[in-house]
């Protein structure tokens, strides 16, 4: 029996070759509202990010922002949320990561701000919990303060263990 191995570079080369054969099939930037088209165009001009990478990244960021707040009805009884699975494929150094970081920056900033608020709230929670119930009552605090909840958009540890901690 012959063993087959997968060569990642061969797969990337084939994907790039396929994309080169599809001439005239650039990412349809015209699907976006004019303001987003302008962002895509200007980011491409200023930072030299490939148009398809920045457009796909922005589309992904839009889907993250919408989340499950809106659904589309495909047909009677069939609703879908805007969940996207996106992979930016290109050779090493093809400027794949920067467009995604650019598009996700508002969420990273939001998560950072919420984490700062959580850290302060948790420190206050621990300070109150170090008091006796009588001391908390005398200071005008709740007898049983609620532990603060960390709010976030993005998760980087998607292992079952990491997600179980987040959902706890």
In a domain, residue 2? The reply is: no
Q: Tell me if 103 sits within 8 A of 61, measured CB to CB.
A: yes
In a domain, residue 110? The reply is: yes
pTM: 0.68
**Alpha-carbon distance values, 124 to 6, 119, 127, 165, 166 (Å):** 53, 9, 5, 21, 21
Q: Tell me if 32 sits within 8 A of 55, measured CB to CB.
A: yes
Q: Tell me if 145 sits within 8 A of 161, measured CB to CB.
A: no
In a domain, residue 3? The reply is: no
| pLDDT score for 92 | 85
Domain count, the chain: 1
Please write the tens of the pLDDT for every residue from 133-164. 889 888 889 888 999 988 888 887 778 888 88
In a domain, residue 72? The reply is: yes
In a domain, residue 1? The reply is: no
- Give the domain extent around 25: 8-167
DSSP-assigned beta bridge partners for residue 78: 75
Please write the tens of the pLDDT for every residue from 8-45. 777 777 776 766 565 555 788 999 999 999 999 999 99
Q: How far apart are CA 58 and CA 72, in angstroms?
A: 20
In a domain, residue 95? The reply is: yes
């Amino acid at each position: 029996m012959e063993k087959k191995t997968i060569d990642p570079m061969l797969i990337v080369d084939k994907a790039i070759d396929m994309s080169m054969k599809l001439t005239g099939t650039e990412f349809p930037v015209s699907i976006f509202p004019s303001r987003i088209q302008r962002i895509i165009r200007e980011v491409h001009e200023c930072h030299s990010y490939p148009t398809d990478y920045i457009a796909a990244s922005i589309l992904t960021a839009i889907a993250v922002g919408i989340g499950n707040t809106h659904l589309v009805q495909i047909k009677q009884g069939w609703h879908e949320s805007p969940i996207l699975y996106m992979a930016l494929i290109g050779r090493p150094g093809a400027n794949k990561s920067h467009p995604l970081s650019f598009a996700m920056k508002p969420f990273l900033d939001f998560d950072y701000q919420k984490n700062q608020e959580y850290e302060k709230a948790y420190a206050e929670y621990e300070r109150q919990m170090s008091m006796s119930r009588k001391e908390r009552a005398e200071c005008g605090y709740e007898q049983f303060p609620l532990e603060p909840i960390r709010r976030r958009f993005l998760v980087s540890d998607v292992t079952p263990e990491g997600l179980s901690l987040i959902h706890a």
